[in-house]
């Protein structure tokens, strides 16, 4: 766009008095000496019959001063520059962006002071992350947890029991206590341990020795509901991180999987995690109309075991599921006023679950241990 009028040094009606600037348009490489004329929230540059603009003041970007000249660029226009020799007149300065100091905060605060502050903040961040397994556990992507759980289940070898009738009974029990779409997988594993363990990724393992020690399917259902509670609250990764630190994430997918599985077998959840899992179990049993009295009885019977050999086996369960004086009492209280409970399984189905390993033709005695 060109203008045929000669620019004037008189103040324009629309703004401040024109002032001479130098200018590069970012295209020709030539240095021009136009006048800078304001027009409300914009400005234009004029030199004889040449006019640049209008440009918005908001699009100007402050650049480093050179030899006392205040220099500005234009957004999205590489090479575009205007310079005010000797500084910017006061009536124009109010429209222009302030100068940006190189380094900003660091220059004003000091380099070494800034380094010290950043080092302290980094140390605090690492400390909080390493000391807060519950927070870190909830940051672990489900895909990573799922992969770790698959590897840990695979580490159990061929000990999973698959007798058809027993599997059908187990499936019925799982659906009874957890009818939703929660992504869990429950297996019975043939090992002489009175225990149940939750692995990452919603994998739950019940060792057949625990089933053999149970007096009814409802007792096993209570234990299963408790383990599902740990899945619901993602307590497993918290437990692993609490015991093994970040090594479980940094090396877990190709590291000592057997060691991690063994750690979970002897893990002790926090008091809060155990209480949440118990609360979840009682709630689910109430919804499923499964009596919590059986679970209370199971806890009391295990804690009262007296023979030495049996007591050693029972310790496997209590090492990972610490008892408190009121846990059994809480399950007993949950049954108060209820008369609508029904057994989880029929006697025939319970018999099939108890023999799920002995009826599995592929199961053979071995000395397998973690």
pLDDT at 132: 61
Tell me the Cα Rg of the chain. Answer: 37
Check: pTM over 0.75? Answer yes or no.
no
* Dihedral sign (CA 2, 3, 6, 7): negative
pLDDT at 356: 94
Q: What is the pLDDT of residue 29?
A: 77
The 3-state secondary structure of 92-158 reads HHCCCCCCCCCCCHHHHHCHHHHHHHHHHHHHHHHHHHHCCHHHHHCCCCHHHHHHHHHHHHHCCCC
| Owner of token pair 């690492």 | 126
Q: Which two tokens stand for residue 32?
A: 């021009």
Q: Mean pLDDT per 10-residue run, the chain (370 residues)?
A: 42 65 85 89 90 90 83 88 86 76 55 72 63 63 79 75 95 93 88 86 91 94 94 82 59 56 66 89 95 90 53 48 70 93 96 92 51
Quote the pLDDT of residue 263: 62
Q: What is the pLDDT of residue 307?
A: 40
What pLDDT shows up at residue 114? Answer: 64
**DSSP label of 215:** S
Q: What is the structure's pLDDT at 172?
A: 96
């Amino acid at each position: 766009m060109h203008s045929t009028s000669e620019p004037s040094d008189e103040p324009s009606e629309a703004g401040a008095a024109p002032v001479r600037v130098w200018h590069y348009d970012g295209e020709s490489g030539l240095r021009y000496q136009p006048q800078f004329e304001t027009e409300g929230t914009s400005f234009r540059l004029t030199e004889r019959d040449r006019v640049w603009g209008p440009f918005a003041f908001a699009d100007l970007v402050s650049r480093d001063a050179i030899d006392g000249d205040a220099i500005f660029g234009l957004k999205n226009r590489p090479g575009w520059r205007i310079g005010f020799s000797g500084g910017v007149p006061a009536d124009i300065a109010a429209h222009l962006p302030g100068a940006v100091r190189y380094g900003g905060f660091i220059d004003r605060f000091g380099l070494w002071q800034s380094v010290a502050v950043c080092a302290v903040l980094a140390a605090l961040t690492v400390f909080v992350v390493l000391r807060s397994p519950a927070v870190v556990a909830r940051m672990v992507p489900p895909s990573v947890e799922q992969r770790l759980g698959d590897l840990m289940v695979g580490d159990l070898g061929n000990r999973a029991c698959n007798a058809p009738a027993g599997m059908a009974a187990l499936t019925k029990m799982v659906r009874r206590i957890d009818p939703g779409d929660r992504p869990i997988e429950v297996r019975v594993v043939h090992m002489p341990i009175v225990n149940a363990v939750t692995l990452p990724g919603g994998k739950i393992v019940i060792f057949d020795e625990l089933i053999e020690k149970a007096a009814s399917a409802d007792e096993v259902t209570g234990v299963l509901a408790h383990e599902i509670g740990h899945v619901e609250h993602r307590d497993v990764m918290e437990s692993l991180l609490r015991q093994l630190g970040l090594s479980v994430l940094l090396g877990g997918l190709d590291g000592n999987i057997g060691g991690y599985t063994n750690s979970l077998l002897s893990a002790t959840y926090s008091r809060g995690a155990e209480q949440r899992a118990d609360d979840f179990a009682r709630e689910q049993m109430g919804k499923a109309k499964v009596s919590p009295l059986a679970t209370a009885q199971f806890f009391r019977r295990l804690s009262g075991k007296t023979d030495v050999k049996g007591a050693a086996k029972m310790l496997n369960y209590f090492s990972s599921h610490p008892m408190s004086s009121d846990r059994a009492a809480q399950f007993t209280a949950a049954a108060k006023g209820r008369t609508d409970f029904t057994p989880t399984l029929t006697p025939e189905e319970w018999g099939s679950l108890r023999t799920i390993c002995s009826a599995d033709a592929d199961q053979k005695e071995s000395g397998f241990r973690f």
